[in-house]
Amino acid sequence: MSHTRKIDKSSSRLIARHRFFVALRHIVLALWSVTTLYPVIWVFLNSFRDNSQIYVNPFALPNPIILKSFPQVLQGAQLQIAIPNSLIYAAVTVFVTVILAAMTSFYLSKFPKRNGFLYTYFILGIMIPVHALLIPLFVTMRNMGLLNSRLGILIVYVATSLSFAIFVLTGFMRKGIPDELIEAAVIDGYGPVRIFFRIALPLTQSGIATVGTFTFLGIWNEFLFALILLSKPALRTLNLTVYNLRGQYSSDQGLMAAGATVLIVPAILIYVIFQERVVKGLTAGAVKG
């Protein structure tokens, strides 16, 4: 009887110690989550307030809720132009990059004839920072008359997205498409084009989704090329127009907060909906030196 009590006592001490550490762990993680979320929430709330409210107390909740910043952002930033622009650039880049990269990867993974060099050549691009391309691409686009044109920026986006897409898709196709399947298809009289569309593409879906998410977010968030290649308001991206607000209305805090909110909300929505895919896409970018 007394023996069991002793065990109970020491094990309850262990359990207490364990509980304490579990609690400590959650406190640390919760504190950090707050550090992560707080700036986002603060900016979001302030987008519903105006300067007079914000200057009195930066931390208060909107009271009353003021909606004037959003229509003003809509007008000043020309969101009805900027959002479709950003969507078009991202969607077209994803579509073209995926098709071109999938075709190339199909060749690199399923035609064994000494193409290791070509693979390395394409993959080199992953290590090249866009900064090293910025100035010559600006000059090239100017000389081609493609500054301030959708085609110009799309070419740049596709060219800088290809390497990573080829890297991921070649990996997927090497592992994901059994050679026997292609042999069987050839015996059935399929040509390379049909094999590509009917077999290679469907079997690489998951890789395509990863590349697609990564590329889409990358272009949606892209700033540097848009800054130097697009100055015409009608062609500007969302990032660029909201950045311009900073110059025009830097003293209107509510308006700037609304601008930041407009940039943040779509990215958060994409993240919430496609969470696993986004995490996979962006951490696959881990190899992107």
Angle, CA 157 vertex, CA 153 and CA 158 arms, to 5°: 120
Q: How far is the CB of 240 from other proteins (least distance, A)?
A: 8
Residue closer to other proteins (CB basis): 5 or 21: 21
Rule CB under 8 A: which of 146-175 touch other proteins? Answer: 155-156, 158-160, 162-163, 166
The two tokens of residue 184 are 């069987």
Report the alpha-carbon distance of residue 262 to residue 244 in Å, rounded.
14
Q: Distance of CA 112 to CAs 2, 116, 232, Å?
A: 76, 9, 47
Piece of 69-77, 87-95, 201-209, 263-271 that binds other proteins (CB under 8 A): 263-271
Question: Which of 65, 64, 58, 63 lies closest to 43, judged by CA?
Answer: 58
Task: Tell me if 182 contacts other proteins by CB under 8 A.
Answer: yes
Report the alpha-carbon distance of residue 204 to residue 10 in Å, rounded.
56
Q: How far is the CB of 1 from other proteins (least distance, A)?
A: 28
Rule CB under 8 A: which of 204-243 touch other proteins? Answer: 217, 220-221, 223-224, 228, 239, 242-243
Which of 15, 23, 67, 186: binder of other proteins (CB under 8 A)? Answer: 186
Which of 146, 195, 211, 229: binder of other proteins (CB under 8 A)? Answer: 195
Rule CB under 8 A: which of 57-96 touch other proteins? Answer: 58-59
Helix, strand counts (H, E) of the chain: 15, 0
Report the alpha-carbon distance of residue 232 to residue 58 in Å, rounded.
36
Residue closer to other proteins (CB basis): 65 or 186: 186
Piece of 3-11, 62-70, 106-114, 204-212 that binds other proteins (CB under 8 A): 106-114
Q: Distance of CA 271 to CAs 32, 171, 259, 265, 279, Å?
A: 20, 25, 19, 10, 8
Which of 12, 33, 63, 206: binder of other proteins (CB under 8 A)? Answer: 33
Which of 61, 118, 151, 234: binder of other proteins (CB under 8 A)? Answer: 118
